[in-house]
Amino acid sequence: MTKIVDRPEDFAATALAGFCAAHADRVIPVPHGALRAYAGAPGKVALVVGGGSGHYPAFLGYVGPGLADGAVAGDVFASPSTSAVAGVARAADLGGGVILGFGNYAGDVLNFGAAAERLRAEGIDARILAVTDDVASAPATDAARRRGVAGDLLVFKIAGAAAEAGLDLDAVMDLAGRANARTVSFGLAFDGCTLPGQAAPLFTVPEGQVALGLGIHGEPGIAEQAILPAADLARMLLEPLLAERPQGHDGRVAVVLNGLGRTKYEELFVLWHHLTGLMTDAGLTVIDPEVGEFVTSLDMEGCSLSILWLDDALADLWCAPADAPAFRKGTVAAQGARQVAREGAAIAAVPRGEPASAAQAGCVADIVARLAQALAEAEAELGRIDAIAGDGDHGQGMARGSAAAAAAARDAAAQGAGAGTVLSLAGDAWADRAGGTSGALWGVALRAWGQALGDTDVPDAARVAAGARAGIDAVTRLGGARPGDKTLVDAFAPFVDTLQGQVAQGAALADAWDAAARAATAAADATADLTPRLGRARPLAERSIGHPDAGAISLALCARIVAGALAR
Amino acid sequence: MTKIVDRPEDFAATALAGFCAAHADRVIPVPHGALRAYAGAPGKVALVVGGGSGHYPAFLGYVGPGLADGAVAGDVFASPSTSAVAGVARAADLGGGVILGFGNYAGDVLNFGAAAERLRAEGIDARILAVTDDVASAPATDAARRRGVAGDLLVFKIAGAAAEAGLDLDAVMDLAGRANARTVSFGLAFDGCTLPGQAAPLFTVPEGQVALGLGIHGEPGIAEQAILPAADLARMLLEPLLAERPQGHDGRVAVVLNGLGRTKYEELFVLWHHLTGLMTDAGLTVIDPEVGEFVTSLDMEGCSLSILWLDDALADLWCAPADAPAFRKGTVAAQGARQVAREGAAIAAVPRGEPASAAQAGCVADIVARLAQALAEAEAELGRIDAIAGDGDHGQGMARGSAAAAAAARDAAAQGAGAGTVLSLAGDAWADRAGGTSGALWGVALRAWGQALGDTDVPDAARVAAGARAGIDAVTRLGGARPGDKTLVDAFAPFVDTLQGQVAQGAALADAWDAAARAATAAADATADLTPRLGRARPLAERSIGHPDAGAISLALCARIVAGALAR
């Protein structure tokens, strides 16, 4: 378990600081991450990788020539925030565009995706690269849903080498995408891991058993069975990957045998001894294998095997030199001048809006303030509802996020921003302070909505409704949820449909909004299979109420608060 | 615990094979170890490091330019045999002499020491370098008794860099000795480790406690207390080292923060963050720190901090480039042709003795055969005695070793070897097959004895007695034990004293030997605080009999068997 810790909430940040100090010859610190100490060539595509902490060498250990330009580190097993990703990416940008690489998990998809949208809005061509290598997490026919595990290293290495070779953003993305499509991983676990500050493990595997396909955060695997000798474990690791050999492939592979933390080097070498024989028997030619720890999971016990089915171009890129704290290949030529730490998180000045729009900014800020007040009052209730099926922090996140949004909106309005900018900045602040999936979704929704409103004139009802549509589009584009998935979309979608429908039929905004808020509330109630609802004190947590979606409930609550504000 | 294993007795050898396969770009396999894939310059001093397996990256991970020329790997937590060390060293030799580097543990001291003697007898100038950095294991006033832990890396790095720079053997040894004298380490452990094939850990630390100074094989530490926050742990690691700062030292230090296995990278980075502040406050200037896993102990949970107090020469050597599977610094220039695996374990042809000596060879071989028969019969009894204070394998080791010695002696005699060579080769075979400390000691004793007998004439009683003296001298020189330490020396010393005394007074060899055997038996009995002794069946293991020394008992038994043979 994790024993060396001060305040658990500081663990990831302290580890980041210690990493930067230990590897000061190779990296420099930036807020929430690290950059190469010696920047790549101007105009080069920059590769920024990241995800939750607790997986070192992923992702900080990959920063160096031939691999990543920067890495962003979230809290332990938690996605970095949108603004953290965007900040590191801004600092890493060399003018050639930025690729944001991460393993395919909901929180990362959302925050890296939202960061890419923010960066593009600022004029930085940013693309996302979600690694989907874990064959245990979804069938090959649904590969885009697969989780990212140690295949991260293989895919990032291809992207990093292609960027280092001077290819342009489209070409690097093309090669990285090809590498991802050809990278497969399968893992075994003997036991779970313990989060900093926790006394009990996050999850466990029964003593004497091996779990096949268990995720690195304890996501469900596909089977459990008694532990077998190493030779059999090697076969169990390899077979699911051989099953996905591309048709007609010549057998050249890059291979990573990855320890998850507690499994030791010698155990990996024992496995590797057996794997070499099995791979030879299968007609594979292993090129530059890597055996060690590359994507860990704190002190989790187990390992994974990753294969990248090479072609000529991918083989050249895999073998290209690289030199990062936790990964090297060949010899990297001497480098130029050391860069000084750049301020990645500098906030651009708030742009002033046209007078007509700026005159509405106070109204927008007022509405956000009402939301913050209502969510503060509902914090405990939302927490209780979330605790039934989630981790119970929804109320806290919403209260914190909306309070930050209210403050940001007030400040922006005071500085003369237009209505659209006020709403967008409120969204950014909401995402950055709320944390979690809901916070990020509220952030992208409000940002998109604000951009639709614009900063030039007084938006009419149709523009407001179109903004709502832009908001839910951003949520579903970045979050991937659809109606019926029991997320806030279940309330947001009927809200938007009703709002746009009523406005199209000529209703006034306040009336249309009121109808939309009622639709959202009804949908939220249905989602939670529950009629008594917010505002009526009842001990919900003690009841079995299906899968109550706190996100849908809080969205409906907000819709009603705004309806009340508009009605006056 | 260790979960990836086939037959536990094959674990270390399979891991070695897997390591060589995984790092085929950097190393080539030799029996019981690995060499650099690209050999150093002819005439360069060769550094061969090693010890038990289970400590990776120690020692195989250190093989590469700027560091070690070769590494030899014993079984898990067990010294490699004398012949394994000598074999790898022979293969690594470049003509400039060989330094055998290891951590200061009894078995390693013995086997690396005995290997150095064998190599010198073959004309290879071999020196031993025992690292003694663990301040918890003995006071500074008795530093030569300290154990070797992660300071291994610091001392080997200095030696390897000095050898790479082309310094001669004396100069490299001088710098390495200086580095060792200035290297100090202190460790913390939260929990023990589990040997391959075992269900229970080798040792444990109580839940919630941290053990200070606990050895990497569970050797006793100096204190236990409740786990503290990381900032306090950092202080606890550093303070014992600061206490040994050389007088007037300018504060330049090479530092290694080493994870023992289960403690994760991020935890080490958290510690490092605190350590950097503490070291700065203490006036230290840290040069090229290393934070990671360098000397592990399977899945042991904990870490150690090592400091090398630098001077100009040592700082240059610490910063010199190196490139090994698990350690690199700077950039190592392109290398020459890849070497092919050399046969390190080739056995030299048995030299023919002069006729007079060769005529005695059969007699020597016959005596060794009688010893083997007697030890086979006593195997269970010796095992029972050993189990009271040891691990119970003494009888097995003695039976296996003596059987191999008898076969080697018979073969050598059949090939016309002289009496001395027959006895020496019997000793080598005994050491290599018996394993353990006793086996190695019997090996060096018989080898020294045989060399004293020579291969030219019939040795007289005085020469036989002088051989016995040479034997015990070799045992105490390499093993370090003195009479009263409750080892085989307790029986061997009175045996030799009596034999030489009686012979000096003119006694016939058989009579002198009989008296010496009786003296050895009496001493062995006294050592074990026990009168009823060998040959009388009694359930010894069930009785509380102080610290019975199985080694002294078996030596006395052997002395009596030979006395019986000589009497006929």
User: Which residue out of B266, B279, B288, B329 would a mutagenesis test of the A interface target, given it has the greatest number of A Cβ atoms within 10 Å?
Assistant: B266
Under 8 Å between Cβ of B199 and B308: no
Which of A3 and A548 is assigned the larger pLDDT?
A3
- Determine the Cα–Cα distance for residues B391 and B370; give it in Å rounded to an integer: 26
- 3-state secondary structure labels for all residues of A259-277: ECECCCHHHHHHHHHHHHH
- Determine the Cα–Cα distance for residues A510 and A250; give it in Å rounded to an integer: 65
pLDDT of res. A484: 82
Asked whether the domain spanning A355-567 has the same topology as the one spanning A1-131, the reply is no
pLDDT of res. A328: 95
Least confident of A132-146, A306-320, B474-488: B474-488
Tens digit of each residue's pLDDT (9 = 90 or more) over B312-326: 999 999 999 999 999
Determine, for residues A264 and B261 on separate chains, whether the beta-carbon distance falls below 8 Å. yes
User: Does B345 have pLDDT greater than 70?
Assistant: no
Alpha helix stretches (DSSP H) within A326-393 = 355-389
Question: How far apart are the CA of B108 and the nearest CA of chain A, in angstroms?
Answer: 20
For B513, the token pair is 């030997």
How far from chain centre, in Å, is Cα B507? Answer: 39
The fold for domain A169-195+202-321 equals: Hypothetical Protein Tm841; Chain: A;domain 3 (3.30.1180)
* Residue A473 CB partners (closer than 8 Å, separation 6+): A448
Phi, psi of B467 (to 5 degrees): -65, -40
Nearest to residue B548, comparing CAs of B493, B487, B483? B487
The residue in chain A having the minimum alpha-carbon distance to the alpha carbon of residue B234 is A4
For A139, the token pair is 């069938």
Determine, for residues A261 and B264 on separate chains, whether the beta-carbon distance falls below 8 Å. yes
Give the mean pLDDT of A227-237: 97
Confidence of residue B528 (pLDDT cuts 50, 70, 90): low
The class that CATH gives domain A355-567 is: mainly alpha
pLDDT of res. A478: 85
The residue in chain A having the minimum alpha-carbon distance to the alpha carbon of residue B295 is A265
Tens digit of each residue's pLDDT (9 = 90 or more) over A317-376: 999 999 999 999 998 875 677 776 555 445 567 889 999 999 999 999 999 999 999 999
Determine, for residues A264 and B334 on separate chains, whether the beta-carbon distance falls below 8 Å. no
User: Does B540 have pLDDT greater than 60?
Assistant: no
User: Does B532 have pLDDT greater than 60?
Assistant: no
Which of A422 and A202 is assigned the larger pLDDT?
A422
Neighbours of A226 (CB within 10 A): 8
Q: How many CB pairs under 8 A join A and B?
A: 177
Task: Identify the residue whose tokens are 């807020």.
Answer: A31
User: Which residue out of A227, A233, A264 would a mutagenesis test of the B interface target, given it has the greatest number of B Cβ atoms within 10 Å?
Assistant: A264
Least confident of A375-379, B159-163, B313-317: A375-379
Percent of chain B with pLDDT over 90: 77
Q: What is the mean pLDDT of chain B?
A: 91
Nearest-CB residue to A14 (from B263, B273, B331): B273
User: Does B545 have pLDDT greater than 50?
Assistant: no
For B490, the token pair is 């307790």
Give the mean pLDDT of B541-552: 57
Tens digit of each residue's pLDDT (9 = 90 or more) over A389-428: 667 788 888 999 999 999 999 999 999 999 999 999 999 9
Tens digit of each residue's pLDDT (9 = 90 or more) over B421-465: 999 999 999 998 887 788 889 999 999 999 999 999 999 999 999
Determine, for residues A17 and B273 on separate chains, whether the beta-carbon distance falls below 8 Å. yes
User: Does A530 have pLDDT greater than 80?
Assistant: no
Q: Are strands A322-324 and A327-329 parallel, antiparallel or unpaired?
A: antiparallel
Determine, for residues A3 and B210 on separate chains, whether the beta-carbon distance falls below 8 Å. yes
- Determine the Cα–Cα distance for residues A500 and B179; give it in Å rounded to an integer: 78
DSSP B318: H
Confidence of residue A433 (pLDDT cuts 50, 70, 90): confident
Tens digit of each residue's pLDDT (9 = 90 or more) over B549-567: 788 889 999 999 999 988 8
pLDDT of res. A407: 95
Beta bridge partners of A48: A70, A100
- Determine the Cα–Cα distance for residues B128 and B115; give it in Å rounded to an integer: 9
- Residue A297 CB-density burial (10 A; 0-12 exposed, 13-18 middle, 19+ buried): buried
Determine, for residues B3 and A268 on separate chains, whether the beta-carbon distance falls below 8 Å. no
What residues of A are annotated to the active site?
217
Question: How far apart are the CA of B184 and the nearest CA of chain A, in angstroms?
Answer: 20
- Determine the Cα–Cα distance for residues A5 and A22; give it in Å rounded to an integer: 17
Phi, psi of A63 (to 5 degrees): -80, 115
Question: How far apart are the CA of B39 and the nearest CA of chain A, in angstroms?
Answer: 18
CATH dotted code for A1-131: 3.40.50.10440
Nearest to residue A516, comparing CAs of A567, A473, A550, A479? A567
For B272, the token pair is 């490092």
**E strands along B134-231, which residues?**
183-191, 209-212, 223-226
Beta bridge partners of B465: none
Under 8 Å between Cβ of B27 and B37: yes
Confidence of residue B478 (pLDDT cuts 50, 70, 90): confident
- Residue A433 CB-density burial (10 A; 0-12 exposed, 13-18 middle, 19+ buried): buried
Q: Are strands A98-103 and A126-131 parallel, antiparallel or unpaired?
A: parallel
The residue in chain A having the minimum alpha-carbon distance to the alpha carbon of residue B272 is A18
pLDDT of res. B219: 86
User: Does B396 have pLDDT greater than 70?
Assistant: yes
pLDDT of res. A551: 87
Chain B residues in contact with A57 by the CB 8 A cut-off are 265
Confidence of residue B543 (pLDDT cuts 50, 70, 90): very low
Nearest to residue B434, comparing CAs of B491, B371, B482, B480? B371
Give the mean pLDDT of A31-39: 95
Chain B residues in contact with A277 by the CB 8 A cut-off are none
For B368, the token pair is 């060794």
Determine, for residues A4 and B270 on separate chains, whether the beta-carbon distance falls below 8 Å. yes
Instruction: Give CA torsion, residues B276, B282, B284, B288, to 10 deg.
Output: -20
Give the mean pLDDT of A379-384: 87
Q: Hey, where are the domains in chain B?
A: 1-131, 176-322, 355-567
- Determine the Cα–Cα distance for residues B8 and B5; give it in Å rounded to an integer: 6
pLDDT of res. A528: 65
Nearest to residue B303, comparing CAs of B190, B227, B202, B195? B190
pLDDT of res. A375: 94
The fold for domain B176-322 equals: Hypothetical Protein Tm841; Chain: A;domain 3 (3.30.1180)
Instruction: Find the helix or strand (DSSP H, E) in which A500 lies.
Output: helix A489-504
User: Which residue out of A23, A265, A284, A288 would a mutagenesis test of the B interface target, given it has the greatest number of B Cβ atoms within 10 Å?
Assistant: A265
Task: Identify the residue whose tokens are 């109420």.
Answer: A545
